[in-house]
Amino acid sequence: MFEERAEKVTRIILFSFLMLLIIEMPHVLSAPLLGTEAYESVASLLSLMTFPLMFFAALQLLKWEGGDSVTELGLKTDRNTWPHLIIGGIAGGAAAALVFLIALVFGGQVASPSLITEGLVVSVIIIAIPVSFVEELAYRGYMMTRMTELWGRNKGIVISSLVFAFLHFSWWAPLGSVPVHLIILFTFNLLVGGVVLSLGYYYSHERLWVPIGFHFAWNIVAYAAFPVYPREPVINTEIFQIEWGITTVLGFLFGLSIIWLILKRSREKRG
């Protein structure tokens, strides 16, 4: 019993370490080209490579356990697959739209309409597809479920969400580039986001389609309708900036309530 438990803990630690290495890979490998014309294109290409590597890491750890298909991680398809994707998309889009609306009404900084071009929206969609799919597979499908097996659902959700939040450190690295209070807010906001996505998984009978849809729609609004901090200077960041400001939590909770209400009504209709 102890050996089996120790092996499960080892796999979780190994997977977390692999995720860290994969996330750091683009920065480390492109660093020698910093200041050259090739830097941006090489860094972008390496960033795209992180998604198949994350997928492969989750699959290999699953095979180590004796599994053979990522469908075992919450990707089984049935008649609810598309409805769940749509529900997640509605909730995620509405959640991010609330953050946008608050910023728009109360003096936060949002993207200029002239900058929200068709090309920008298409590029954001293209990037959001692998990000939402692979991150949900890795953090909720593999990491959270394994932590839940070891420590129970509540601890599994919180700990995996903490890892999810901290492994987005590249947005505020190196230390000193972003004020400490914003790092704390950003990390807390992503922790809350991770919890919301995890609950979406459990509310939908341990399927990833709701969190994938939520993550996808959230990212589209976040990166098309807001300036990208800290790449661009933003006013009142700690209040209105999506993922960095306190209004982000309101958005996440609003999105969670939509998921819960729609799924509850759906179950009631089925009797």
From the CB of residue 27, how many other CB atoms can be counted at a distance below 10 Å?
15
Signed CA dihedral, 123, 129, 131, 132: sign only: positive
Long-range contacts of 12-21 (CB under 8 A, 24+ apart): 12/143, 12/146, 12/147, 12/150, 14/61, 15/57, 15/58, 15/61, 15/138, 15/142, 15/143, 15/146, 16/143, 16/163, 16/167, 18/57, 19/54, 19/57, 19/138, 19/163, 19/167, 20/167
Q: Helix 247-270 crosses helix 81-106 at what angle (to 10 degrees)?
A: 150
For residue 188, being part of any structural domain is answered with yes
The structural domain count of the chain equals 1
SS3 7: helix
For residue 5, being part of any structural domain is answered with no
* pTM across the whole model: 0.96
For residue 229, being part of any structural domain is answered with yes
Q: For residues 221 and 97, is the Cβ–Cβ distance under 8 A? A: yes
62 exposure class (CB count in 10 Å sphere: 0-12, 13-18, 19+): buried
User: Structural domain of residue 188, as residue ranges?
Assistant: 72-270
From the CB of residue 13, how many other CB atoms can be counted at a distance below 10 Å?
10
One pLDDT digit (tens) per residue for the chain, 271 residues: 788 899 999 999 999 999 999 999 999 999 999 889 899 899 999 999 999 999 999 999 999 999 989 999 999 999 999 999 999 999 999 999 999 999 999 999 999 999 999 999 999 999 999 999 999 999 999 999 999 999 999 999 999 999 999 999 999 998 999 999 999 999 999 999 999 999 999 999 999 999 999 999 999 999 999 999 999 999 999 999 999 999 999 999 999 999 999 999 988 887 6
For residue 116, being part of any structural domain is answered with yes
Closest CA to 182 of 222, 235, 146: 235
Name, in order, each residue with C-beta under 8 angstroms of 62's C-beta and a sequence gap of 6 or more.
Answer: 68, 69, 70, 72, 73, 142
For residue 7, being part of any structural domain is answered with no
CA dist., res. 210 & res. 89, Å (int): 7
CA dist., res. 145 & res. 160, Å (int): 9
